[in-house]
Amino acid sequence: MSGFADPPAWSGSSSDPNDVQFGDVVEGTALADADSYDRVLVGEPYDGAVIGRTGARDGPAAIRESLAAAKAYHFEHGTVASVGDLGDVRPPEGDVAHVQETVADVAAEVHALDATPVFLGGDNSLTYGNVRPLLDDGAVGVVSLDAHLDCREVGDEPSSGTPYRQLFDAGLDALAVVGARHFETTGAYHAFLREQGGRVLTASEVGESVEDAAQAALATVADVDTLYVSLDVDVLDGALAPGVSAPTPGGLTAREVFALLRAFAADDRVAGFEVVETAPRLDSNGHTTKTAARAVAHFLSAHTHHHA
C-alpha cells in the first residue's frame, strides 16, 4: 500500500471576520485521527487510465484550492462543519490494474472509518478501487452522474471506461447512470447495463424533471444496503465544463447537478462520494474546477444536514 502524502494546509482568504470559508472549516488529519470527523477528503492524483485527454491528475489540488475560497454556508442547511482532509493517495508505478488494487487497499482503510469518504479524482478508473471494498459487506449500489456508461469490456487492461464492468464482475448489485448522452455509447454496453438490472436516465430526462430523475435513480438502487455516489464532471454540458477528458454537448447544468447531489447525499445509505475527471489544464477560466468544488460543497452540506 502506498499510503498518503501529507495533507495540505487549509486556510480562508477573506478579510471579512464574518466570512466562514471551507478553508476555515476543513482540517488536515491522519488516518488514526480521522474518526473525529463526519467526512474526510481523499485526493487521488492519477490519470494514467484516461480514454481521451489527460489532465485529471491535477484535479485534487485544483478542487481543494477552489473549495477553500468558497463560503461554507448553505441557506437551508447552515454552515458545513466536521470535514477532515487525509491528503493524497500516492499512486504507485505500474499498470492500471495495479493502481486500482492499490487504491482499493487504501480505500478499504478509509471506508473502515466512521467518517464518510469524499474522493477527489483523478480519472474514472479509480471508481473501481473506491467502491471495491464496499462489496465485501452487503448489497451495494452506485448512482453515477456521467455522460457515459463506463461499462466497456476490459480488454488488455482496465481504463477510465471500464470501472462498472469490473465492479459488476466483482459483485456490484445495482447501477443507475444519470445524465447519460445519446450518441456517447453503443447498444452493446446499454444492453449489458440493462442485463444487470441497471438503468439509464438521460440528460434529457433530467432536464424534464430533476426530482423525477432523482427518484427514478434511487428506485433503481432501492434494494441495496450501501450506496455510493459518483460524479464524473463530463456529465455537465461541454460548454459549461470544458476541463474534462471528453466534453460533449447536451449535458446537465450546474444547478441540475447540485440538486441531484443534494437528493442523493441525503440518503441514509450513502457510504462514499467521488468527483472524477476534473482536468484543470484543459479548463477555461476555471469554470470546470469551480463547478466540481461547488459540487463537493453541495454534497457535504446535504450530508451534514441529514446526519447531524
Q: Quick: pLDDT tens for 37-79.
A: 999 999 999 999 998 899 999 999 999 999 999 999 999 999 9
How far does Cα 55 stand from its chain's mean position?
16
Cβ count within 10 A of residue 137: 11
Cell of 128: 473501481
Tell me the mean pLDDT in the region 214-231. Answer: 98
* pLDDT over threshold 60, residue 227: yes
Residue carrying the nine cell digits 462543519: 81
E strand map for 12-88: 27-28, 39-44, 73-74, 78-79, 83-88
Contact 240, 251 (CB under 8 A): yes
- The CB-side HSE value for 104 (13 A sphere, CA atoms) comes to 19
H-helix or E-strand containing 241? none
Tell me the mean pLDDT in the region 3-17. Answer: 92
Tell me, yes or no, whether 5 lies in a domain.
Answer: no
Cell of 33: 485521527
Indicate the number of domains in the chain.
1
We report the CATH number of the domain holding residue 66 as 3.40.800.10
Which residues pair with residue 262 across a beta bridge? Answer: none
Which residues, including other chains, have CB under 8 Å from residue 104's CB and lie 6 or more apart? Answer: 128, 129, 130, 132, 133
Tell me, yes or no, whether 185 lies in a domain.
Answer: yes
Q: Compute the distance between CA of residue 303 and CA of residue 300 in angstroms, rounded to an integer.
A: 5
Tell me, yes or no, whether 267 lies in a domain.
Answer: yes
Tell me, yes or no, whether 11 lies in a domain.
Answer: no
* pLDDT over threshold 90, residue 304: no
Tell me, yes or no, whether 260 lies in a domain.
Answer: yes
Give the whole-number percent of the chain exceeding pLDDT 70: 98
What global pTM score does this model have? 0.97
Contact 198, 190 (CB under 8 A): no
Tell me, yes or no, whether 3 lies in a domain.
Answer: no
Tell me, yes or no, whether 249 lies in a domain.
Answer: yes
Predicted confidence band at 94 (pLDDT cuts at 50, 70, 90)?
confident
pLDDT for the residue 92: 87
Q: What is the mean pLDDT of the chain?
A: 95
Tell me, yes or no, whether 173 lies in a domain.
Answer: yes
* pLDDT over threshold 60, residue 296: yes
* pLDDT over threshold 80, residue 307: no
pLDDT for the residue 3: 80
Domain extent at residue 74: 22-307
Predicted confidence band at 195 (pLDDT cuts at 50, 70, 90)?
very high
